[in-house]
Amino acid sequence: MDVFQGKASGQSYARQSTPTTDSLQAMITQTEQGIGSLVFATGHGRIKCNFLSLLKQGDHLIASRFLFGNSYSPNDNPRKFGIEVTLVDATDVNNVIAGQTR
């Protein structure tokens, strides 16, 4: 229970931490001479983390409406944090520009 609640170190759930991902993160950090690394099990996990790390309440995200079907779900999450999401036909720059005024 303490590991799952973050009160103790260790692995409790494969989507949060495993010895394999811990090792990979350590190797990437060392190779890049960084201070830390994160790896994700899915591309959607990485995308959602980026959105929620970079955007804040009151921001406006404009994305292509031609996203892969499952990509729409992460676009609903920013709305829960007060981030406006506009999906446009991004094959025409005028639609992207028009999306800025919504």
* Tens digits of residue pLDDT in 31-73: 999 999 988 878 778 887 888 889 999 998 888 888 766 665 5
Q: Are residues 35 and 83 in the same domain?
A: no
Q: Are residues 67 and 53 in the same domain?
A: yes
Distance of CA 55 to the CA centre of its chain: 10
Q: Are residues 11 and 50 in the same domain?
A: no
- Contact (Cβ atoms closer than 8 angstroms) between residue 35 and residue 25: no
Q: Are residues 50 and 90 in the same domain?
A: yes
Pairing state between β 60-64 and 84-88: parallel
Q: Are residues 29 and 47 in the same domain?
A: no
- Contact (Cβ atoms closer than 8 angstroms) between residue 89 and residue 65: yes
Q: Are residues 52 and 18 in the same domain?
A: no
Q: What is the pTM of this model?
A: 0.56
What does the pLDDT read at residue 99?
Answer: 84
Q: Are residues 26 and 64 in the same domain?
A: no
Residue 47's domain comprises 42-99
Residue 75 has pLDDT above 60, yes or no: no
Q: Are residues 23 and 50 in the same domain?
A: no
Taking the C-alpha atoms of residue 61 and residue 100, their distance in angstroms, rounded to an integer, is: 9
Containing H/E element for 15? none
